[in-house]
Amino acid sequence: MAEPVISARGLRKVYGDFTAVDGIDFEVRAGESFGLLGPNGAGKSTTMRMIGGTLDRSGGELTVLGMDPADHGPEIRAHLGVVPQQDNLDEELRVRENIVMYGRYFGLPRSYLLPRSQELLAFAQLEAKADAKVGDLSGGMKRRLTIARGLVNEPKILMLDEPTTGLDPQARHVLWDRLFRLKEAGTTLVVTTHFMDEAEQLCDRLIVVDHGRIMAEGSPRQLIREHSTREVVEVRFGSERNAQVVAQLEGVGARNEVLPDRILVYTDDGEAALEEINRRGLHPITSLVRRSSLEDVFLRLTGRTLVD
Ligand X SMILES: Nc1ncnc2c1ncn2[C@@H]1O[C@H](COP(=O)(O)OP(=O)(O)OP(=O)(O)O)[C@@H](O)[C@H]1O
Binder to Mg ion among 33, 45, 187, 229 (CB under 5 A)? Answer: 45
Chosen from Mg ion, ligand X, none, partner binding at 238 (C-beta under 5 to 8 Å by type): none
Least distance CB 43 / Mg ion (angstroms): 8
Q: How far apart are CA 135 and CA 147, in angstroms?
A: 17
Q: How far is the CB of 191 from ligand X (least distance, A)?
A: 12
With respect to ligand X, which residue has the nearer C-beta, 45 or 188? 45
Neighbours of 255 (CB within 10 A): 13
Distance in Å, CB of 215 to Mg ion, minimum: 17
List all residues 6 or more positions away from 58 whose beta carbon is below 8 Å from its beta carbon.
12, 13, 14
Helix 220-227 × helix 294-302 angle, to 10°: 50
220 interface partner picked from Mg ion, ligand X, none, CB below 5 to 8 A per type: none
**146 closest CA partner among 178, 183, 114, 112:** 178
Minimum distance of ligand X from residue 199's CB (angstroms) = 13
Of 58-87, binders to Mg ion (CB under 5 A) are 85
Spatial separation of the C-alpha atoms in residues 249 and 4, rounded to whole Å: 47
Size of the site for Mg ion (CB under 5 A): 3
Residues 6+ apart with CB under 8 A from 19: 12, 13, 212
Residue (44 or 227) nearer to Mg ion, CB: 44
Residue number with CB closer to ligand X (44 or 129)? 44
Residue 52: CB minimum distance to Mg ion, A = 13
CB 214 within 8 A of CB 207: yes
Interior angle at CA 159, CA 158 and CA 160, nearest 5: 115
103 binds, among Mg ion, ligand X, none (CB under 5 to 8 A by kind): none
Nearer to Mg ion, 45 or 287 (CB): 45
Pairing of strands 205-210, 255-258: unpaired
Q: Environment class of residue 261 by beta-carbon count within 10 Å: exposed (0-12), middle (13-18) or buried (19+)?
A: exposed
Binding site for ligand X (CB under 6 A): 15, 18, 20, 38, 40-46, 85, 194
Residue (4 or 52) nearer to Mg ion, CB: 52
Would you say 36 or 265 has its CB closer to Mg ion? 36
Q: How far is the CB of 156 from ligand X (least distance, A)?
A: 23
Segment near Mg ion (CB under 5 A); pick from 37-45, 88-96, 203-211, 278-286: 37-45
Phi-psi region of 36 (alpha: psi -120 to 50; beta: other; left: phi over 0): beta
Residue 163 vs 253, nearer CB to ligand X: 163
- By CB under 5 A, name the binding residues for Mg ion: 44-45, 85
